[in-house]
């Protein structure tokens, strides 16, 4: 992002999982401050990833749940957005703000940006609030809402404390199986749009 090395030099293979990672650390906060002084700052990630595009089927960019210069870079670099949604009312309020931001990006630096879909997370079908929020999402977003849901699951919560993705920590857990189902659904959607 600040031209100390290329994205190709910074990537790290996650050999067991068969993907690469551009890792982050505490320096990312300093990079964000440094970006404020750079011209074309919202295009830095897009420019950095451009040479890598032919090497990958998908590039996923994980963003914090806040709008800052790093998130703006991700939205400018992205073709599509996957929006994870907790089935809670405060998340709906945050979604409204995100939709306004997406609209601004679409009418400015990235007109090709599209919402690929919304993913319900921490889903508990026994909870009436979950059902209410899920119904609102269905009514408002229709087929943009993934049918796969990510449940509240202890194994999902435990995996990071062991330094492992859930598929390596407990691949038979409900959480791992839900992410596999989501990956399959996403892959089918992406193939249908090509």
Is residue 38 a part of any domain in this protein? yes
Does residue 187 have a pLDDT over 90?
yes
Phi, psi of 57 (to 5 degrees): -75, -40
Please give the average per-residue pLDDT across 171-178, as a whole number: 96
Does residue 109 have a pLDDT over 90?
yes
Is residue 11 a part of any domain in this protein? yes
Is residue 42 a part of any domain in this protein? yes
How many domains does the chain divide into?
1
pLDDT band at 129 (very low <50, low <70, confident <90, very high): very high
Dump pLDDT digits (tens) for 28-84.
Answer: 888 888 888 888 889 999 999 999 999 998 999 998 877 888 999 999 999 999 999
Is residue 154 a part of any domain in this protein? no
Domain that holds residue 63: 1-78
> What is the per-residue DSSP string for 11-61?
-EEEGGGTEEE----THHHHHHHHHTTSTTGGGHHHHHHGGGGGG-S----
Q: What percent of the chain has pLDDT over 90?
A: 68
**In whole angstroms, what is the distance from residue 88 CA to residue 129 CA?**
7
Is residue 142 a part of any domain in this protein? no
Is residue 59 a part of any domain in this protein? yes
Is residue 39 a part of any domain in this protein? yes
Is residue 45 a part of any domain in this protein? yes
Dump pLDDT digits (tens) for 69-108.
Answer: 899 999 999 999 999 999 888 888 888 888 999 999 999 9
């Amino acid at each position: 992002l600040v031209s100390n090395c290329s994205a190709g030099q910074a990537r790290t293979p996650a050999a067991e999982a068969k993907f690469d990672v551009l890792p982050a650390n505490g320096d990312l906060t300093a990079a964000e401050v440094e970006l404020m002084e750079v011209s074309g700052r919202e295009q830095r990630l897009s420019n950095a990833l451009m040479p890598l595009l032919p090497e990958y089927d998908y590039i996923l960019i994980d963003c914090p749940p806040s709008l800052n210069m790093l998130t703006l870079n991700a939205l400018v670099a992205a073709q599509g957005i996957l929006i994870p949604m907790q089935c809670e009312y405060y998340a709906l309020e945050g979604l409204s703000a995100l939709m306004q931001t997406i609209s601004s990006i679409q009418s400015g630096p990235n007109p090709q940006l599209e919402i690929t879909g919304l993913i319900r997370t921490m889903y508990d079908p026994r909870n009436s609030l979950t059902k209410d929020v899920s119904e609102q999402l269905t009514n408002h977003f229709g087929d943009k809402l993934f049918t796969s849901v990510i449940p509240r699951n202890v194994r999902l919560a435990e995996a990071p404390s062991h330094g492992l993705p859930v598929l390596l920590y407990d691949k038979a857990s409900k959480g791992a199986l839900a992410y596999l189902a989501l990956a399959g659904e996403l892959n089918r959607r992406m193939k249908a749009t090509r």
